[in-house]
Structure 1
Amino acid sequence: MGGLLRYLFGPGKSEEHVNPHLVAAWSGPGQLPSLEPPTGPTGRHDIRNLARLLEQPVRAGRNPPQKYVWHASVRNHITDRILSDSQWAHIAAEMVAAVGIAPHGDPDAVRWVAVRHADDHIHIVATLVRQDGETVWAWNERLKAQTAARDLEQRYGLHQVGPVDHTSHRRPTAAEQNKSHRQGRPEIPRDRLRREVRAAAAASIGEDDFLNRLQATGVLVRLRHSTTNPDEVTGYAVGLPDHHTSTGDTVWYGGGRLAPDLTLPQLRQRWDSGPGTHPRGATKRPSAQHRADTFRRATATADRSARHLAEDPSGDEDDTASLAYAAADLLASTARAFEGRKGGTLTDASETFDRATREPYRRLPRHPHPAAGQLRSMSRLIAAAGRLTSEDDTTAALQLILRLSMIADNLANLREAQDRLHQAQAARQAAENLRAVAANAATALAGARAGTVPAPATRERGQPRGRVT
């Protein structure tokens, strides 16, 4: 507790803390002056008395937990107005009540304070032992706090973040980030594996093809079999040959730990929704002279899908979901052809767009739109065509990227109509990024024709792969 309070009442890591002070506490506004840490001759706050008062129930509690400090920051959007101390005090009280650690009107609840050291946010600090000696276990406090935040946004007329929709993929943990930094990795393994799995899924016609493609890229694959029927495969996990635990075991990631739509049942559903497959389980590779034609055909297919999304503002959920999923596959294959395995700005835009396409709670479309199968077919053809090798290829690919930006714009409108604000924001961001990629690459192409800069995203076979920025 002492260390946390010293940080909150201190200058911050970059002198960003301005006028740190209490705005609320468990004992009510009348006691704030007596709880406020005094300032010493050096200008530093003496937090010892406040820390002692907060920890009193812990020292007197019955079997208190080893980790008893609860800490949450509540921050406004950059576009929100500046709230007063009394408004932040009300928000803090609503938060601790919503998560269940200090219900309204409970005199024996935990002790807590709210510290403000900036215009746009507060920190709520509490100890998890009630004043009657019982320990509080804050179950599902994150979800409860987010629900309370959505309510407070409406009550105060603040920026609407939107309800939790369970469509985001899991972010790398702090431990994963620190480990990757120590090992000097250019990319966190979870992120790299998600990109490899998504590219393989977008290029595959079925399960065997998917697994073979993963293994061909050097990804380790482990299948999970049913406990009741050992011959039935129910899932998979992937890992990297050089990514191990402290005991030397491979670190495995199941498909669902990479993204909600990368579980094996989800992938099977998407493969089954496509058109008929090649009898030998492969897609015929377009020749180099036909590669640009492949992109042009994909552009026409994407244009029809964009028009369908624009002309159906009500948005049949199955049609929207299947078209969005298929467009994400097409964009993933295009990004791989444009930038290669190392990725770049187009690959990042593909990741952003992917968030906008997912259905809440992993719901699968029951009746996919016919155009979804056509989009997936073009995704496989582009994956089979390989990297871009000429200006004609690049020009055709840029037209496809612009059509995909139209799909992203139309999908954003539909997500807003569905009140799925996180996904609407992701779709808008993806559309902007796609247009930026197309504009930058077109400028580079023009420069290449004028002889001033190298052509973008082109290389001869055998040359090292580059990144378009």
Structure 2
Amino acid sequence: MIPKVAARGSDVAGLLRYLYGPGRREEHSNPHLIAAWDSARPLAKLEPLIGGQGRVEVRALARLLEQPVHCGQYPPAQPVWHCSVRNHAADRILSDGEWAHVAREMVAGAGLAAHGDTRAVRWVAVRHAVDHIHIVATLVRQDGATVWLPKGLWRRCQLTARRLEIQYGLRRVGPPDYTGHRYPDSVEISEAVRAGRSGTLREELRGRVRVAAAAAGTEDEFFDVLGGSGVLVRLRTSDHAGQACGYAVALPGVRTAAGQPIYFGGGRLAADMTLPKLRMRWSVASQVPPGSPRPAVNRHARVTALRQAGQAAQDAARAVGDSARSDGNGVQATMVAAADLLVTVARAYERDWCGPLHRAADYFDRAARGRYGWVAAPTSRSQELRAHARLIWLMGRVSGDDDAYAALRLVLQLGRLADAIAQLRAAQLRLHQARDARIAGLALRRVAAGGRATVAVTATSRPTPARTGGGGRRTRHGGHL
């Protein structure tokens, strides 16, 4: 359950007109009131009328909500408070009565209208979809006192939502763990849909940079791998030293209307992909020295490398499983290095950047990353895993039955490591990462068993429901829908 508090406004009628209207993409269906302030008249009498030409007349309801504002002592310039509360798509559909209870709990938890306070602010809850509601309130009490929103309002709403998730058996969101990427905006998603790509430009570049960071042992190799994968690289140098202090990447086939490449800096891709944080990965020399000759590439050598990596992944799974007795920094470094190993295996096994292993690697990476982009200090185990990742990259693509079998054995061991990470994240109450680790583990086991991993692509568009008329609202005599 996700509560989202919008910016305060001043136009109650305009907001109600939008909530009762068809929506920007005809997505509003059956808009109607489900709850209102304690001293309100019955909902049937508050429900807006349908006038001529099917227009919803919300002025009467807006005037009722605005009465305390007009009579208040020192009303604020922007007295309209708006909050939407949305459930996950996999949750059961709540009834109007259940959503009404959610609305009452949310306004009480936000400090706007305590239970039983008949002189509190006036508010209404509108439902125009099966999975969410909108709460509209005016920030002047009925006794004329202005309500000043308390500090930590966002946190209060989140705590209320967490309690309601448990009460109704909904999907638990969990407290924020500050490990997520910046969500793509509507422009990026629309551009990806028009271009027929399964992910946005930012997500594709993030995946290519992740592969290059895992495959490289030095900064120069990192930029060489990026250039070899067809990525445009632009360096940013410091003024006083003339050394590189940052980078930006772009795809040559994606350009602006003026014909310029669309660059994304490392920090805009992920918090741990800035150049200083990537240098921390390469601060300790890997077991394959930089600049050393390329290892012999044949099927026997590739099988040996994959088997050794599988043993290292098995040891890492055991270490993460025993993490209650292990150093936290070492476990974090191990998990991130294992994510690097998985992404190089995915690149060696699949030719498609959007294949099931690549998508599983993305979930694995989300489960392994540290908060706020924290990069743990390297350990001997993380160095070993990264050395195996770099070696698998240098060995090239999997091309035969023997090395494919060894690669799938390695994938299975990484699936068991994902299960251990899920248990660790659940014990840490980092529920988002625990869920991502479970998804990655399930997908990896299916790939190892020869099945197809059912991992959803990142850039998706939700279908727009068909608009329905009426919506249970009262119709003025002589009017029509």
Is the TM-score greater than 0.5? Answer: yes
1:173 partnered with 2:185: yes
1:432 partnered with 2:442: yes
TM normalised by structure 1 equals 0.77
Question: Equivalents in 1 of 2:234, 2:420: separation in Å?
Answer: 38
The CA deviation at 1:172 is: 1.6
Asked if the contact 1:314–1:414 (Cα under 8 Å) also holds between the matched residues in 2, the reply is no
Which of 268, 274, 277 is the matching residue for 2:279? 268
For the residue of structure 1 that corresponds to 2:174, the secondary structure is coil
1:388 partnered with 2:395: no
User: Structure 1 residues 383, 141: CA separation in 2 closer, same or farther (over 3 Å shift)?
Assistant: farther
- Mapping 1:4-403, distance limit 5 Å: 5=16, 8-9=19-20, 17=29, 20-25=31-36, 28-30=39-41, 32-38=43-49, 46-47=57-58, 49-50=60-61, 70-75=82-87, 78=90, 82=94, 85=97, 88-96=99-107, 102=112, 112-117=123-128, 121-125=132-136, 145-154=157-166, 158-185=170-197, 187-226=199-238, 229-273=240-284, 275-280=286-291, 284=295, 286-314=297-325, 316-340=327-351, 342-366=353-377, 368-403=378-413
The CA deviation at 1:300 is: 1.4
The CA deviation at 1:114 is: 1.2
The CA deviation at 1:325 is: 0.3
For the residue of structure 1 that corresponds to 2:272, the secondary structure is helix
The CA deviation at 1:115 is: 1.6
Higher relative contact order (CA closer than 8 Å, sequence separation 6+): 2
Question: Equivalents in 2 of 1:51, 1:418: separation in Å?
Answer: 46
Asked if the contact 1:69–1:128 (Cα under 8 Å) also holds between the matched residues in 2, the reply is yes
Q: Which one-letter code corresponds to 1:411 in the other structure? A: I
Asked if the contact 1:291–1:393 (Cα under 8 Å) also holds between the matched residues in 2, the reply is yes
Asked if the contact 1:169–1:260 (Cα under 8 Å) also holds between the matched residues in 2, the reply is yes
The CA deviation at 1:246 is: 4.3
2:468 corresponds in structure 1 to: none
- Paired positions, count: 436
Q: Mean alpha-carbon deviation: is it higher for 244-253 or for 217-226?
A: 244-253
For the residue of structure 1 that corresponds to 2:233, the secondary structure is strand
The superposition leaves residues 320-365 of structure 1 with CA deviations (integer Å, 9 ceiling, x where unpaired) of 2111101100100011111125331110000011110011122332
Asked if the contact 1:336–1:343 (Cα under 8 Å) also holds between the matched residues in 2, the reply is no
Q: Which one-letter code corresponds to 1:221 in the other structure? A: V
2:5 corresponds in structure 1 to: none
Q: Which one-letter code corresponds to 1:326 in the other structure? A: A
Asked if the contact 1:58–1:64 (Cα under 8 Å) also holds between the matched residues in 2, the reply is no
User: Structure 1 residues 145, 214: CA separation in 2 closer, same or farther (over 3 Å shift)?
Assistant: farther
For the residue of structure 1 that corresponds to 2:234, the secondary structure is strand
TM normalised by structure 2 equals 0.76
Asked if the contact 1:77–1:159 (Cα under 8 Å) also holds between the matched residues in 2, the reply is no
The superposition leaves residues 44-88 of structure 1 with CA deviations (integer Å, 9 ceiling, x where unpaired) of 8654543566688999999968xx884523326745684662x53
Identity %: 43
Q: Which one-letter code corresponds to 1:202 in the other structure? A: A
The CA deviation at 1:43 is: 9.2
Two-structure CA RMSD over aligned residues (Å): 4.1
Q: Which one-letter code corresponds to 1:180 in the other structure? A: A
